[in-house]
């Protein structure tokens, strides 16, 4: 049960403020913002998502730079409130198409209307866009999508592959298209975030894939959908068998997930048999399935780093990135960072010839090397050489003073786990009914680190 | 809603100051009020939006109240909603104006459109004006009977709102009974869920004054209600599911079959994508199996994977909430996660609040098998760019070192930290080396060699400096230049800002003096002189004390300052196990995140609908479920946890068979003589007295006065076990006690709890409101794990109190009773 809900801009302005129970003082938004902004004197540490100040518990989540906040005096379940905040943000996004400060300000009456139905007297009523549709009457005022930052994982599809209609991910679930008719379509996105840590000798220390099958449906009449995954998919590994023995963890399938969970609407009647998920997708965007995998997989990139002394007060860094995936696949927005010794005062860069779309930088403030590459084609290799100048004599080990190298990237139409949607079946209403189906894969770096 | 205007808001271009704009709006609204012209509604919408946007940014638009109400006579639902929003915001501060709205809201409550009926009812009940409640009762009553579920849903919450405005009106109208009926019969699960929310709040707050409400509240965790709700659990919204699960976690099943049924029913909830549902289910599983040790362990295994998935798949915020719970579980069962430690490695892009928790996890799961890998990983973080995390990592290494037997490799790493030549790394490492030496003096040789190389000039942080100085004093024999380092530190006495460091300096130089007098004498003199002149009282006093001690007798001084020391075996745990158990009982709440039980951060009324004490209160009257339990079942279930009881049962089983368990637990214990009492000769008289229903004053205790009973001052009892025992044991002594009214009147629960604690009688739960308080205490014998449980009810205005005692070993309950009463009688004495 919460007492108040509000949304603050990055500067701390109230965009939306709703007091459900009148138990917490009115100035709470200001108190909250001051506390979060000056959490620790050095400004280094972020405020935790939950804290207590004078008997009031403040919860917040950050969504696209906005702070979604709830307050209460009651000892509630933190994960419930945090999940609720996240879900409110998602409902608003479903309605507005785009969630940002501008769209919120333009549509605040609609947002209030939503908030009235989502929460009553502090208790969550419904967060289903589907259900809310029948209670909410304001029409969204759609803001211009063209100049917007990507907002969510699905937004990455806007760049790169041309096959995807870029507007879809920013389309409101309720607003009508300018043409009057809505396009019948459904998006299924398999989004994987991979975390890999390489030791200094290139050996993989840890690797994990956190994946989600995200769905966004614009189908009218909510037809039933069947989603088939790899038949040899197996779930649960290693760990002791469950007392209830409800899952057969035997067999050595190709894709072995450690664990997964499902959206409410998913029925698993046939899942054990043929790995199909049946569901009637509600309106709006939602995760059909989240999964986690620690099975070994081939990392898409190898990182080789060399740092060595080159005369007094000088050193050389060689960074080599090799793309170990098929040449038909192109990774984009690659960024590589490497902390350099604190006493580095200058860095000059030498890129390979014909290095198009590459940028290099030395960030003086935090002594960091930054290397950006727009595109990397599978199978290729890229190298960066940097000459460093130091302000003091070296002592000790250079590799202890620098690194680790971290990397971020996005690889469309690639998934590391090999989990696949084999087919997507939509229950037909008539023979002419043939909605657009988009099944898209993408892999992103979560924490991709090579130690020195 | 939007906060009412801050009157001194400065005008800025984007935020109009108000006055002019508001009067503009006023006249425009007036013009439109009666208009039926086409497009009038659209213009109204625009105006209403403006009003609400002013309201949001804090401009006072309450002066438009009349005009807004006039304009609301419309069939446009969007307009109506905006008007309701406006009215709800200003009604509380303008009760007179609110009266204006009653009419049209009441009319809307009878509208044909259920949507409008619902909205109007919600607005009407949200006015928060106490003199308008009379207008609310009628519409709420018909709302509860409405044929549309939306209206019923709103009406149920309306009842709760009414209760908060005027509890008596709500109770008098008999709304709780209507909600109870709806809860058990309504086809719409959201109506049911809202009834549950409302009834929990209403009955919890009524329970302290009304026996009936207390019983009603207990009925929520009765078998029929729980089963009814659980069987429909999939129909509820995910949020309502959490509430039902929270309730189910309080349910006490009668046998293990029931436990397994419930767990099988809820098994698939662990696969839910909503973390709140998974954690609530986890709580049910953990609570249900508390008394079944092996199943409880299996539950840990079962919940591991889903919780790890939630941790890594959700937002960082959600991850934080889940990690807090994982941390709690790891503290209870470290081995469960010991092979999954890699999940708790930090990722470079995680927020620091997640990293910190992960470091704590790594410390907790470290054992003989994984320490090497974990420490290696932590050492990587020590060079981290994020200095706060680097420090935490070093501390984590230290903690692991202190909890491991094989510290060989760790010591090497710690010493490597000292050689890294980063100030903060050196500082943290010094503090750790000091603690390590206190526990493992055998490492002194290796450590001292490295520490000796550190220049004290490079150590600035007080804690680290103090640690270094401590080592200089303690190991001055081994560190050749110790006296000279100390001497140079003393020379800079005035520049040393930290009193802690100066204190350590005094002690260190004393220690050094006893080991190497000729070299230290000069420094000691300087230190004592500087200390005596110090403005800091502690420093001054310590210097004076040392000075006089030396004056009195140097050899005595040596015995005091430099006695042979024993290695510290275990550093004190910062949290008592009782507190940890309390936090565990409050699983899936903020207590876990803050690592504090709820009474430490919330006031009584906000501890959530099912706080522990209430629940124990229930046990004292609601014993039906225990009666159903066949004795062998209980014994079978509880053998592991309640060994002392089962052993006892076995020993008397021959005479008594199962009667002790099968007999119903009436509140009149005197009619039933527990077999164990009649068995032991000297207590015979007591049993007879009990039979006659006499209350024995403590003074006339049986002649062979019982051996003095010693209690364990650090007794520990899990509250779940307390409940279990309370349910199973007979009341062995029930007596009245009175306190002088003057003392009783001044009694506060906290004071009494503290007082009893000092007598080794611990409070596990308390509750009630003045003048009636209720406490549950427990105590354990010092020599054996035999427990006494006490229920203590006192009326502070009359000073009359009722004491009910249950005991594992009933032969000593008389002695305990005497002890308890004498402890009580000392309460309030100076």
ipTM score: 0.88
Q: Give residue-wise pLDDT tens across range A198-210.
A: 998 889 999 999 9
Could you tell me the strand order of the sheet in which A344-351 lies? A301-309, A314-323, A381-390, A344-351
Q: What is the pLDDT of residue B761?
A: 85
Q: Rounded distance, CA B432 to CA B562, Å?
A: 22
Q: What is the pLDDT of residue B2?
A: 44
Average pLDDT over residues A369-384: 93
Q: Which residue of A has its CA nearest to B150?
A: A135
Q: Domain ranges for chain A, please list them.
A: 4-133, 185-238+251-297+414-450, 301-412
Average pLDDT over residues B810-830: 77
Please check the confidence at residue B20 and state whether its pLDDT lies above 90: no
Please check the confidence at residue A409 and state whether its pLDDT lies above 90: yes
Q: Give residue-wise pLDDT tens across range A7-21.
A: 999 999 889 998 899
pLDDT band at A68 (very low <50, low <70, confident <90, very high): very high
Give the number of beta-carbon pairs within 8 Å between A and B: 255
* Least confidently predicted of A404-418, B170-184, B648-662: B648-662
Average pLDDT over residues A27-56: 88
**Contact criterion met (CB < 8 Å) for A246 and B273:** no
A contacts of B385 (beta carbons < 8 Å): 339, 366
A contacts of B276 (beta carbons < 8 Å): 77, 79-80, 83-84
| Pair B756, B700: CB distance under 8 Å | no
Q: What is the pLDDT of residue A244?
A: 36
More confident residue, B830 or B289: B289
Of residues A50, A123, A239, nearest to B590 (C-beta): A50
Q: What is the pLDDT of residue A229?
A: 92
Please check the confidence at residue B636 and state whether its pLDDT lies above 70: no
Q: Rounded distance, CA B586 to CA B581, Å?
A: 9
A contacts of B302 (beta carbons < 8 Å): 242-244
Which residue do the tokens 């994960």 mark? A79
Q: Is A301-412 the same fold as A185-238+251-297+414-450?
A: yes
DSSP bridge partners of A4: A19, A71
Q: Which of A24, A79, A247 to mutate to test the interface with B (most CBs of B within 10 A)?
A: A79
Helices and strands, counts by H and E, chain B: 43, 5
B contacts of A1 (beta carbons < 8 Å): 197
Please check the confidence at residue B17 and state whether its pLDDT lies above 70: no
More confident residue, B713 or A382: A382
Average of per-residue pLDDT values in chain A: 84
Average pLDDT over residues A42-65: 89
Average pLDDT over residues B769-788: 79
Q: Rounded distance, CA B86 to CA B100, Å?
A: 13
Average of per-residue pLDDT values in chain B: 79
Average pLDDT over residues B452-477: 87
Closest approach of B266 to chain A, Cα-based (Å): 12
Average pLDDT over residues B383-389: 78
If 0-12 CB within 10 Å is exposed, 13-18 middle and 19+ buried, where does residue A238 land? exposed
**Contact criterion met (CB < 8 Å) for B306 and A259:** yes
**Contact criterion met (CB < 8 Å) for A109 and B4:** no
Q: Which residue of B has its CA nearest to A49?
A: B317
Average pLDDT over residues B359-376: 89
A contacts of B602 (beta carbons < 8 Å): 55, 73-75
Instruction: Kindly state the percentage of chain B with pLDDT values over 90.
Output: 30
pTM for the model: 0.77
CA triplet A321, A326, A330: central angle to 5 degrees? Answer: 65
Q: Which of B321, B379, B604 to mutate to test the interface with A (most CBs of A within 10 A)?
A: B321
Closest approach of A55 to chain B, Cα-based (Å): 6
**Contact criterion met (CB < 8 Å) for A212 and B313:** yes
Of residues B57, B153, B594, nearest to A14 (C-beta): B57
Q: What is the pLDDT of residue B705?
A: 46
pLDDT band at B689 (very low <50, low <70, confident <90, very high): very low
Q: What is the pLDDT of residue B187?
A: 94
- Three-state DSSP at A374 gives strand
Helices and strands, counts by H and E, chain A: 7, 26
pLDDT band at A176 (very low <50, low <70, confident <90, very high): low
Closest approach of B271 to chain A, Cα-based (Å): 4
pLDDT band at B696 (very low <50, low <70, confident <90, very high): very low
Could you tell me the fold of the domain covering A301-412? Answer: Immunoglobulin-like (2.60.40)
Q: What is the pLDDT of residue B827?
A: 75
Of residues B306, B348, B388, nearest to A449 (C-beta): B348
Please check the confidence at residue A299 and state whether its pLDDT lies above 60: yes
Q: Give residue-wise pLDDT tens across range B518-548.
A: 888 889 999 999 999 988 999 999 999 999 9
**Contact criterion met (CB < 8 Å) for A61 and B315:** yes
* A430: DSSP letter: S
Please check the confidence at residue B103 and state whether its pLDDT lies above 90: no
Distance of CA A62 to the CA centre of its chain: 12
Q: Which of A50, A73, A77, A289 to mutate to test the interface with B (most CBs of B within 10 A)?
A: A77
Of residues A17, A79, A212, nearest to B1 (C-beta): A17
Closest approach of A355 to chain B, Cα-based (Å): 28
More confident residue, B748 or B111: B111
Distance of CA B488 to the CA centre of its chain: 50
Q: Rounded distance, CA B816 to CA B317, Å?
A: 50
Closest approach of B800 to chain A, Cα-based (Å): 33
Closest approach of B276 to chain A, Cα-based (Å): 5
Please check the confidence at residue A321 and state whether its pLDDT lies above 60: yes
What tokens does A327 get?
A: 């040449």
Instruction: Kindly state the percentage of chain A with pLDDT values over 70.
Output: 87
| Pair B802, B734: CB distance under 8 Å | yes
**Contact criterion met (CB < 8 Å) for A127 and B56:** no
Across A155-191, b (16+ Cβ under 10 Å) vs e yields: bbbbebeeebeeebbbbbbbeeeeeeeeebbbbbbbb
Q: What is the pLDDT of residue B707?
A: 55
Closest approach of B100 to chain A, Cα-based (Å): 22
What CATH number belongs to A4-133?
A: 3.30.450.60
Closest approach of B815 to chain A, Cα-based (Å): 40
What CATH number belongs to A185-238+251-297+414-450?
A: 2.60.40.1170
3-state per-residue secondary structure call for B302-345: HHHHHHHHHHHHCCHHHHHHHHHHHHHHHHHCHHHHCCCHHHHC
Average pLDDT over residues B653-661: 36
pLDDT band at B606 (very low <50, low <70, confident <90, very high): low
pLDDT band at B690 (very low <50, low <70, confident <90, very high): very low
């Amino acid at each position: 049960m919460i007492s108040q809900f509000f949304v603050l801009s990055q500067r701390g302005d109230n965009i939306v403020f709703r007091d459900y129970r009148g138990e917490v003082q009115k100035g709470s938004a200001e108190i909250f913002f001051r506390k979060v902004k000056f959490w620790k004197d050095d400004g280094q540490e972020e405020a935790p998502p939950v804290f207590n100040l004078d008997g009031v518990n403040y919860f917040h989540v950050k969504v696209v730079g906005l702070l979604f906040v709830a307050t209460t005096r009651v000892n509630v379940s933190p994960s419930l409130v945090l999940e609720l905040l996240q879900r409110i943000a998602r409902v608003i996004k479903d309605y507005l198409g785009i969630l940002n400060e501008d769209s919120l300000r333009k549509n605040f009456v609609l947002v209030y209307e939503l908030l009235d139905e989502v929460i009553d007297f502090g208790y969550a009523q419904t967060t289903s866009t589907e259900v809310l549709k029948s209670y909410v009457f304001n029409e969204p005022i759609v803001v211009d999508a063209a100049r917007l930052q990507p907002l969510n994982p699905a937004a990455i599809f806007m760049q790169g592959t041309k096959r995807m209609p870029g507007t879809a991910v920013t389309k409101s679930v309720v607003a009508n298209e300018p043409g009057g008719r809505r396009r019948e379509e459904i998006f299924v996105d398999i989004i994987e975030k991979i975390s890999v840590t390489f030791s200094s000798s290139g050996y993989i220390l840890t690797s994990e894939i956190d994946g989600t099958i995200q769905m966004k449906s614009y189908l009218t009449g909510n037809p039933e959908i069947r989603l088939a995954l790899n038949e040899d998919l197996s779930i649960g590994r290693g760990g002791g068998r469950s007392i209830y023995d409800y899952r057969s963890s035997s067999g050595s399938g190709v894709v072995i997930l450690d664990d997964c969970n499902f959206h409410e609407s998913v029925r698993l009647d046939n899942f054990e048999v043929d790995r199909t998920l049946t569901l009637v997708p509600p309106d709006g965007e939602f995760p059909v399935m989240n999964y986690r995998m620690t099975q070994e997989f081939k990392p898409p990139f190898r990182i080789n780093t060399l740092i060595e002394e080159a005369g007094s007060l000088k050193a050389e860094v060689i960074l080599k990135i090799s793309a170990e995936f098929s040449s038909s696949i192109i990774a984009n927005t690659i960024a590589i960072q490497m902390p350099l010794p604190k006493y580095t005062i200058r860095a000059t860069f030498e890129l390979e010839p014909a290095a198009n779309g590459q940028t290099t930088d030395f960030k003086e403030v935090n002594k960091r090397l930054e290397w950006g590459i727009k595109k990397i084609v599978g199978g290729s290799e890229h190298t960066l050489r940097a000459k460093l100048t130091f302000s003091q004599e070296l002592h000790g080990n250079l590799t202890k003073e620098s690194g680790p190298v971290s990397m971020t990237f996005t690889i469309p139409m690639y998934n590391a786990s090999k989990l696949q949607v084999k087919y997507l079946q939509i229950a037909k209403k008539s023979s002419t009914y043939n909605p657009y189906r988009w099944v898209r894969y993408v892999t992103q770096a979560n924490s991709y680190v090579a130690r020195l | 809603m939007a906060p009412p205007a801050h009157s001194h808001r400065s005008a800025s271009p984007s935020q109009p100051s108000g006055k002019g704009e508001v009067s503009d709006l006023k006249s425009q609204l007036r013009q439109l009020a009666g208009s039926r012209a086409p497009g009038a509604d659209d213009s109204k919408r625009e105006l209403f939006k403006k009003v609400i946007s002013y309201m949001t940014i804090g401009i006072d638009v309450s002066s438009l109240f009349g005009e807004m109400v006039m304009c609301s006579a419309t069939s446009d639902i969007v307009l109506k909603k905006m008007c309701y929003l406006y009215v709800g915001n200003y009604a509380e501060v303008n009760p007179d104006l609110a009266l204006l709205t009653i009419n049209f809201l009441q009319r809307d409550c009878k509208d044909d459109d259920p949507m409008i009926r619902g909205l109007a009812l919600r607005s009407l009940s949200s006015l928060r004006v106490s003199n308008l409640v009379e207008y609310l009762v009628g519409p709420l009553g018909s709302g509860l009977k409405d044929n549309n579920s939306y209206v019923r849903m709103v009406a149920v919450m309306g009842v709760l709102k009414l209760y908060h405005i005027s509890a008596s009106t709500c109770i008098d109208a008999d709304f709780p009974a209507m909600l109870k009926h709806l809860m058990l019969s309504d086809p719409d699960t959201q109506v049911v869920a809202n009834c549950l929310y409302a009834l929990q709040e209403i009955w919890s707050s009524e329970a302290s004054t009304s026996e009936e409400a207390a019983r009603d509240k207990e009925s929520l965790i009765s078998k029929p209600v729980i089963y009814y709700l659980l069987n429909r659990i999939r129909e509820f919204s995910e949020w309502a599911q959490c509430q039902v699960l929270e309730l189910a976690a309080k349910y006490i099943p009668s046998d293990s079959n029931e436990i397994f049924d419930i767990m099988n029913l809820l098994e698939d909830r662990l696969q839910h994508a909503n973390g709140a549902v998974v954690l609530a289910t986890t709580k049910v599983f953990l609570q249900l199996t508390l008394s079944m040790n092996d199943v409880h362990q299996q539950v840990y295994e079962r919940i591991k994977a889903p919780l790890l998935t939630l941790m890594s798949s959700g937002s960082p915020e959600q991850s934080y909430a889940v990690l807090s719970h994982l941390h709690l579980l790891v503290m209870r069962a470290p081995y469960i996660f010991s092979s999954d430690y890699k999940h708790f490695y930090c990722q470079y892009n995680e927020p620091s609040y997640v990293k910190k928790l992960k470091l704590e996890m790594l410390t907790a799961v470290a054992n003989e098998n994984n320490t090497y890998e974990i420490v290696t990983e932590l050492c990587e973080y020590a060079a981290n760019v994020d200095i706060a995390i680097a420090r935490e990592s070093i501390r984590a290494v230290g903690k692991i070192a202190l909890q491991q037997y094989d510290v060989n490799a760790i010591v090497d790493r710690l010493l490597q930290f000292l050689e890294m030549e980063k100030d903060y790394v050196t500082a943290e490492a010094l503090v750790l080396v000091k603690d390590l030496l206190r526990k493992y003096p055998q490492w002194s040789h290796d450590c001292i060699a490295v520490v000796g190389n550190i220049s004290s000039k490079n150590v600035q942080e007080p804690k680290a400096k103090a640690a270094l100085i401590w080592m200089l004093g303690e190991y001055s024999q081994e560190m050749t230049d110790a006296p000279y380092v100390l001497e140079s530190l003393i020379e800079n006495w005035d520049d040393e800002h930290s009193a802690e460091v100066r204190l350590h300096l005094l002690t260190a130089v004393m220690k050094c003096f006893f080991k190497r007098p000729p070299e230290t004498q000069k420094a000691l003199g300087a230190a004592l002189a500087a200390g005596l002149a110090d403005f800091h009282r502690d420093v001054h006093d310590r210097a004076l004390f040392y000075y006089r001690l030396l004056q009195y007798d140097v050899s005595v001084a040596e015995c005091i300052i430099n006695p042979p020391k024993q290695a510290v075996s275990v550093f004190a745990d910062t949290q008592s196990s009782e507190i940890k158990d309390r936090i565990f009982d409050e699983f899936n709440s903020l207590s876990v995140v803050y690592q504090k039980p709820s009474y430490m951060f919330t006031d009584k009324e906000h501890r959530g609908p099912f706080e522990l004490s209430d629940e124990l209160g229930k046990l004292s009257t609601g014993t039906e479920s225990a009666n159903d339990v066949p004795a062998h079942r209980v014994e079978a279930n509880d053998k592991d946890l309640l060994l002392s009881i089962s052993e006892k049962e076995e020993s008397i089983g021959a005479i008594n068979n199962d009667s002790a368990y099968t007999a119903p637990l009436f509140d009149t214990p005197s009619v039933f003589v527990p077999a164990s009492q009649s068995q032991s000769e000297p207590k015979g008289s007591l049993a007879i007295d009990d039979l006659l229903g006499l209350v024995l004053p403590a003074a006339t205790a049986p002649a062979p006065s019982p051996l003095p009973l010693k209690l364990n001052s650090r007794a520990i009892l899990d509250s779940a076990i307390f409940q279990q025992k309370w349910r199973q044991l007979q009341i062995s002594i029930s007596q009245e006690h009175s306190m002088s009214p003057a003392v009783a009147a001044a009694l506060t629960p906290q004071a009494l709890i503290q007082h009893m604690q000092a007598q080794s009688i611990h409070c596990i739960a308390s509750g009630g409101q003045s003048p009636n308080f209720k406490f549950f205490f427990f105590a354990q014998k010092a020599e054996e794990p035999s427990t006494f449980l006490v229920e203590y009810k006192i009326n502070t205005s009359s000073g009359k109190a009722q004491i009910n005692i249950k005991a594992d070993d009933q032969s000593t309950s008389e002695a305990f009773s005497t002890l308890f009463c004498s402890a009580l009688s000392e309460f309030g004495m100076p």
